[in-house]
Amino acid sequence: MNNKIIGIVLIIVGVALTLWGYNIYDSASSQVTRAVNGDTPIEAWVGMVGGVISVLVGIRKLK
């Protein structure tokens, strides 16, 4: 039972992190930065990759 609760929380946090990272990636200032010098903010990568990893760990905990 405890693992299922942890899994559900990890999935929710992972989805939120992924959306947060994508919002940073898709923001106007980030688009200008990418157009000028091709850099993507590290926060965007951390949010998207960390969110996906969190969701995968959460799914594994549910099994």
Rounded to the nearest 10 degrees, the angle between the axes of helix 42-62 and helix 2-25 is: 160
In this prediction the pTM is 0.83
What are 2-54's pLDDT values in tens digits?
A: 999 999 999 999 999 999 999 999 898 888 888 898 888 888 999 999 999 99
Domain that holds residue 20: 2-62
Name the domain count of the chain. 1
Q: 47 Cβ partners below 8 Å, 6+ apart?
A: 17, 18, 20, 21, 22, 24
